[in-house]
Amino acid sequence: MTDATAPAPAAPAAGGKRRSLLEVDERTRRRNAAEARFRLYGIVAISVGLLFLLLLLGSILFNGLSAFQQTFVQVPVYLDPERLDPEGNRDPEEMRGVTTFGYKPLLNEAVYEKVQSLGIETPLPEPAMAPLLSDGAATTVRSFVLENPDRLGETVEFDLLASSRVDGYFKGRVTRDSIARDRFIDAAHLDLADAMNEAGTMGKQFNLSFITGTDASDNRPEQAGMGVSMIGSFFMMLVVLILALPIGVAASIYLEEFAPQNRITDFIEVNISNLAAVPSIVFGILGLAVFIQFMHLPQSAPLVGGLVLTLMTLPTIIISTRASLKAVPPSIRDAALGVGASKMQSVFHHVLPLAMPGILTGTIIGLAQALGETAPLLLIGMVGFIASNYPDGVAAGFLDPNSAMPAQIYEWAKRADPAFYERAWGGIIVLLAFLMTMNIIAIILRRRFERRW
Amino acid sequence: MYDAPTAAEQALQQHDIKISSRNVQVYYGDTHAIKDVDVDIEDKTVTAFIGPSGCGKSTFLRCLNRMNDTIDVARVEGEILLDGENIYDKKVDPVQLRARVGMVFQKPNPFPKSIYDNVAYGPRIHGMAKNRADLDEIVERALRRAALWDEVKDRMSAPGTGLSGGQQQRLCIARAVATEPEVLLMDEPASALDPIATSQIEELIDELRRNYAVVIVTHSMQQAARVSQKTAFFHLGNLVEYDDTSKIFTNPEDPRTESYITGRIG
């Protein structure tokens, strides 16, 4: 056997190094296998990433979409002048004397009458209609009356918010089992709600006030909305944009184009890179110490939030701006200097326009990051509870206590009533919509301004 | 090519000294890149710098309009006189100098703007035109001088980067001459171009000689012989020989020059 095989390995060696291309040798086979394995790892990694992304998006949409719909009750309400304007002067000032408590019996009557007129049988007496309606329903009617005092005595059709229990029942969150020990509502209410839903006088509708409305107290989750915190976020982003863009761009132009190459510049560069990696909560406590305790700026104000987020965003903007300045070929600078342009002219006429798409993209990414930042806002108290009033005017927008979208989401997620849980998810959808819009703008800007040289 | 010069050509060869350098040393950090260069560059003449790669010819060229200032580690010693004034004097603003000593680079580097804006940029920043009509005229004159006018007059708003390589380089020359410089420095202006574009550029350089002192760095000895009247041969940072081009290429004095032009070194 050894005799037979011994010459065999010698043969190819003797035949020189010429092997057939049609045979794959061992070494090549191993290399190809390694390559195929690596490609497989890549595909697996990407699939895992995609799976998690889908899970994330799926759960956000599954949990959050219901927040955009709310159960309303359509009832005609007789605006009884006797009770709503006892003095009879139709003077809005006097009519303010009647609080929402004065309105509630009116609404109970209206719902009860509606139920009777629809021929629905219910064991519940008239005052027991209250748990069907949100606490906010009386507010809706009251503000309508105060705005239109001349419509007293008429019967007006209202879309009133149903209570969160009823709303939860239609969304599947509240069941007959879960209300067994609920002191606010009992099974008879749910029977009635079902009947009213069938009769078409109660049902889910798109709820714009979730996006535009104000936050609401623990007792009325059905009324809570993102509007005010959105305004807070808007003013913060304004501060960040106004401060971080010029400061960041100026700093990076100086560092990249003008600064002498020495120890101090190196030190600054290293520290900017380090700042980009500092946890955001550190910026929060810095803001608390510097802006609020030392400079006595108002607490919970978007101005302070904006300042803190500016500090946080600056390194991001500086790093991306410097990268895009570096990407401009030096031949362009030479060309400008060669025709007698000054350093500044060459930068502002030629380098900066070419770096603009990169700078804008970096800025928008930085803004998006700041928009979603929560931790520093908690430390400077930007979790204001604004239940009724929007900031009036620009100054108030900057200085009045407010909240921000991510802080609002955190706030809702913290509350006990499960109805707020749904709103937290809904808030995340709104926040993600903003972030996606900003990223799309960044992509569009990059495409639009991208030039070849 | 080396016929005896006619009387008219001889008259043309009597020129003033435009730039003269004395004891110029250039250091890049610790490297001594240029050693003791003395050279007199004549007005209305094409002077070619030749030599092997890394011999310092481009470095010396960039000294003539202080483009080396943009490199932090570069240091220049000695005097370079432009019309008798030392351009390395502390009072000299390099920006003002570069308006008088224009430069064309190895790789065509038009701005990513329209052809018109490319040429008009220099005149604009130097305030050379009072109004749009003036500027139009300057642009047209510069493009005509760069022999590009006929090719681009109908598409002045097209991007300069969309032209062919040779056209781009002529556009860069037009951009350089638009500011009415007195000296034109060219750093291997044809090395990135094909033979046809190269010959166009060479013809153009010969034309430009009427108005400017042209200094050209080139790797091609044939090119130096074709376009220049004076040639300087650099080797290892030294100026080995500087004389009439015809003399350098027919009867060089230094053995190193001879070795280089016959292809034994370099």
Query: In terms of residues, how long is chain B?
Result: 266
Same domain, A390 and A252: yes
Domain total of chain A: 2
C-alpha–C-alpha distance, residues A111 and A76, integer Å = 8
Residues A123-170: tens digit of each pLDDT: 888 888 888 898 888 888 888 888 888 888 888 898 999 998 899 999
Last residue of a domain, one of A207, A239, A263: A207
The answer to whether position A4 is within a domain reads no
Q: Can you name the CATH fold of B7-261? A: Rossmann fold (3.40.50)
Identify whether residues A429 and A388 lie together within a single domain.
yes
Same domain? For A107 and A246 the reply is no
Contact B70 A350 (CB under 8 A): no
Q: Are both A192 and A240 inside the same structural domain?
A: no
- From A406, A407, A409, select the one nearest A384 (Cα to Cα): A407
Interchain proximity B65–A341, CB inside 8 Å: no
Q: Is the pLDDT of residue B7 over 70?
A: no
- In percent, the amount of chain B with pLDDT more than 90 equals 52
Residue of A263, A339, A451 to mutate, interface with B, max B Cβ within 10 Å: A339
Say whether both A162 and A197 belong to one domain.
yes
Boundary of a domain, candidates A207, A241, A256: A207
How crowded is residue B40: how many other Cβ atoms within 10 Å of its Cβ? 15
Q: How far apart are the first and last CA of chain B?
A: 24
Confidence of residue A451 (pLDDT cuts 50, 70, 90): low
| Residue A86 shares a structural domain with residue A190 | yes
- Please report whether residue A20 resides in a domain: no
Banded pLDDT at A7 (limits 50, 70, 90): very low
Strands B230-235 and B46-50: parallel
User: Whole-angstrom Cα distance, residue B233 to residue B239?
Assistant: 6
Structural domain boundaries, residue A105: 70-207
ipTM reported for the complex, 2 dp? 0.85
- What are B217-250's pLDDT values in tens digits? 998 888 999 999 999 999 988 999 999 999 999 9
A137 and A242 both lie in a single domain: no
For residue B131, what are its two tokens? 């109004």
Contact B39, B242 (CB under 8 A): yes
Predicted TM-score of the model (pTM)? 0.81
Q: Are residues A185 and A318 in the same domain?
A: no
Instruction: Check if the beta carbon of residue B192 is closer than 8 Å to that of residue B108.
Output: yes
Burial of A233 (0-12, 13-18, 19+ CB in 10 A): buried
Flag whether A340 is in a domain: yes
Strands B74-82 and B85-86: antiparallel
Measured between alpha carbons, how far is A235 from A167 in angstroms, rounded to an integer? 33
* Tokens linked to A280: 């955001």
Please name the residue that has the structure tokens 């032209």.
B163
Instruction: Dig out the tokens for B43 from the structure.
Output: 């007005």
Contacting B residues, span 205-234, partner chain A, CB-CB under 8 Å: none
Chain B positions touching A335 (Cβ under 8 A) are 105, 109-111, 172, 175
Phi, psi (deg, nearest 5) at residue B112: -75, 60
Query: B194 pLDDT band (50/70/90 cuts)?
Result: confident
Position A364 in a domain: yes
A58-71: per-residue pLDDT in tens? 999 999 998 899 99
Q: Is the pLDDT of residue B38 over 80?
A: yes
pLDDT for A312 beyond 90: yes
Of all residues in chain A, what percent carry a pLDDT higher than 90?
42
Phi, psi of B129 (to 5 degrees): -115, 135
Of B95, B109, B110, the CB nearest to A334: B109
Judge whether B72 is closer than 8 Å to chain A, CB to CB: yes
pLDDT digits (tens, 9 = 90+) for B88-117: 988 989 888 998 999 999 899 999 999 999
Smallest Cα–Cα separation from A334: which of B157, B127, B107? Answer: B107
Closest-CA residue of B relative to A341 is B95
Phi, psi of A231 (to 5 degrees): -65, -40
- Residue B47's pLDDT is 94
Q: Which residue from A65, A433, A417, A1 is spatially nearest to A217, judged by alpha carbons?
A: A417
Nearest by CB to A335, which of B72, B100, B111?
B111
- Report CA Rg, chain A: 33
Name the more confident of A146 and A14.
Answer: A146
Give B 162-191 residues with CB within 8 A of chain A.
172, 175-176, 178-179
Same domain, A240 and A150: no
CATH number of the domain residue A276 falls in: 1.10.3720.10
Q: Is residue A242 part of a domain?
A: yes
Compute the nearest-CA separation of B161 from chain A (Å).
6
Give the start-to-end residue ranges of the domains of chain B: 7-261
Rounded to a whole number of angstroms, the distance from the CA of B103 to the nearest CA of chain A is 5
Strands (E) across chain B are located at 17-28, 31-42, 46-50, 74-82, 85-86, 101-104, 183-187, 213-217, 230-235, 238-244
Same domain, A110 and A245: no
What is the overall mean pLDDT for chain B?
88
